[in-house]
Amino acid sequence: MVSEGDLVHRNLTAEERAHIQDVFHEEMAPKLRRLDARTGVIDCGFAGDRFKCWMITFRSRGSAFEIVEFEYDEEGGEMSLDALE
């Protein structure tokens, strides 16, 4: 198991990125569509606690969304989109 501290010193693996992307498309994209989001930055806490300090930049592409960047932010924290709906 990778600790949060370990994530500071390395990049996400291809498997970790794929996991975040899968959960993003399954759980977050529908919420972002309901909020009429087009572009933004959100934390990856939706993919599990160990990713809560990882941030993604996303943008809309047609009726879908794509992740354009992953970035570690030690000060990042989890924000619930459910509260905004």
- Retrieve residue 11's tokens: 């990049």
Query: 25-37, pLDDT tens digit by residue?
Result: 999 999 999 999 9
pLDDT at residue 74, rounded to an integer: 85
Give the whole-angstrom CA distance, residue 32 versus residue 38: 8
Query: 8-57, pLDDT tens digit by residue?
Result: 446 899 999 999 999 999 999 999 999 999 999 999 999 999 999 999 99
Residue 63 pLDDT class (50, 70, 90 cuts): confident
| Section 68-82 average pLDDT | 76
- Give the H/E segment covering residue 23: helix 14-23
Residue 66 pLDDT class (50, 70, 90 cuts): very high
Amino acid at 8: V
